[in-house]
Chains A and B, each alone.
Chain A
Amino acid sequence: MSPNRKLSLFEAKLCSDQLKNKMMKVAMSMTQKNKAASLDLIQNTYMKALQNQDKFNGPEIDPWVITILKNLQKDEWKRKKEIHVGGNSDLPEIAEQDESAALMLERDKDYCMDTLTDDEQTIISLNQVSSYAEISKDLGIEQGTLRQRLRRAKEKFMECMGFNNE
């Protein structure tokens, strides 16, 4: 590490607390709160953003970085799916969950969060750290559309948790 190294504006923006918090929430929701997987995902996102900074033409860095993070996670899902389809015989078969375990999971919030699509998870996780105005800007959607999508995502979560049957 060079002692004379100076911070570039791009790096300052990339490492802001606000963006870091957004990345952590989105990564944790997309990896089912797997800390190691989230850290890998965030690290890969930072590295990819740094490597591709000449492709960033501003003005908003947050949406650009969140998109990188989501695409990396989608690639990871795709890679895992390919390995699974390829049928690696060295891997143990995943045991089928019995009915009682499935019932127990039914009301589990981790499970319910996982039933949401990645777009729904992103909206809900950004809702934890950002205002509607900021989320709309990050996702490039109108605030009215955001309200609707957020409400629907929460309804889906509620339904999974069994709140609307109480």
Chain B
Amino acid sequence: MNDHDKDLISAYLDNETTADESKHVESLMESDAEALNYANQLKSANLEINQYFEGDEFEELETSVNKFINDSIGLADQTRSLFNFDISKIFNPYSIGGYVATAIIFFSINLNFFSNENYNNEYFIPSDSINFLQEFSQESFSYSIPKFRGDSTLNKIYIEAIEQMLEEKKLSLNLLYGDESFVITIENQIYSQDLTMCFTGNIIKQNSFIDYLFCKNDLNSSILLND
């Protein structure tokens, strides 16, 4: 067993190996007693490490941190915001879905930011599947949208592209729209409740860099750009 095998065994126990690597590790553990012993020692270490990061201290800390987040964001009122955009702009009068998303986000923000009495909310932004993006691949893919005269606004193009990324479960996309090209990334899931999810990310076109907030539910999708 060499160091590379040890790396693979460690990654295997974290469920971070490819199918081929998993097969290699499993056969190694069957044929090599030293490898099996090493895996068992690592399992014990993982168990101790997991225990280290569990416990009441973390729950208590989270409550205190949540309280601080509510306080500090309120106190940061004087702080100039880099992006300085109004989340309400995501409301599109022609989009019921956008309205629903905005209304829910406002509701949650109101609960958490505008009420001094509500510090014990577990989450700053309600989240019921915050790990949704963990299943996504970093690998980039290409997607083309043909451009016709009098065609869609760029916002609609961005929405279609981001929906495609969610469909493909990929965090990065090379978008070709007519003779224009963009790189779009999904960075964070900032909201998830019921059927509505919101993500932040970037759109890069030549040297320009645009932040976006994208929200989607079962009815519709909206995007807000900070360019």
Please report A residues at the B interface, Cβ cutoff 8 Å: 1-3, 5-13, 15-20, 23-25, 28-29, 33, 35, 38-39, 42-43, 46-47, 50-51, 53-54, 56, 58-61, 109-110, 112-113, 124-125, 127-128, 131-134, 137, 144, 147-148, 150-151, 154-155, 157-158, 161, 163-164, 166
Contacts and interface: CB of A to CB of B under 8 A. Distances in A.
Interface stretch (B8-16, B91-99, B147-155, B158-166): B8-16
Given A15-B124, A131-B16, A147-B7, A59 B113 contact: no
A9 B85 contact: yes
Contacts of B81: 8, 10-11, 53
Interface of B: 3, 6-11, 14, 16, 41-42, 44-46, 48-53, 57-58, 60-62, 64-65, 68-69, 72-77, 79-88, 109, 113-114, 116, 123-125, 127, 130, 134, 138, 185, 187-190, 200-202, 209, 211, 213, 226
Contact of A109 (B42, B49, B61, B77): B49
B79 A15 contact: no
B187 A13 contact: yes
B11 A132 contact: yes
A150 B10 CA distance: 8
Contact of B10 (A33, A109, A151): A151
Contact of A28 (B9, B48, B53): B53
10 contacts: A1-B75, A12-B87, A13-B187, A17-B123, A28-B58, A35-B64, A43-B72, A144-B7, A151-B10, A158-B41
Given A1-B75, A9-B200, A50-B76, 16 more contacts: A5-B74, A6-B85, A8-B81, A9-B211, A10-B83, A12-B125, A12-B190, A15-B73, A18-B130, A20-B65, A28-B61, A39-B64, A46-B69, A132-B14, A151-B10, A158-B45
A130 B169 CA distance: 17
Contact of B68 (A10, A46, A112): A46
B83 A9 contact: yes
Chain B interface, DSSP helix/strand/loop, else mixed: helix
Contacts of A23: 65
Nearest to B209: A58
A39 B53 contact: no
Contacts of A13: 187-188, 190, 200
Contacts of B114: 1, 3, 5
Given A6-B87, A7-B87, A15-B125, A161 B7 contact: no
Given A8-B81, A131-B16, A125 B76 contact: no
A166 B42 CA distance: 12
Contacts of A47: 72
B188 A16 contact: yes
A164 B87 CA distance: 54
Contacts of A150: 10-11, 14
B224 to A, nearest CB: 8
B82 A56 contact: yes
Given A9-B213, A13-B190, A134 B73 contact: no
A78 to B, nearest CB: 24
Contact of B62 (A8, A24, A58, A109): A24
Contacts of A144: 7
Contacts of A147: 7-8, 10-11, 16
A50 B211 contact: no
Contact of B45 (A9, A53, A157): A157
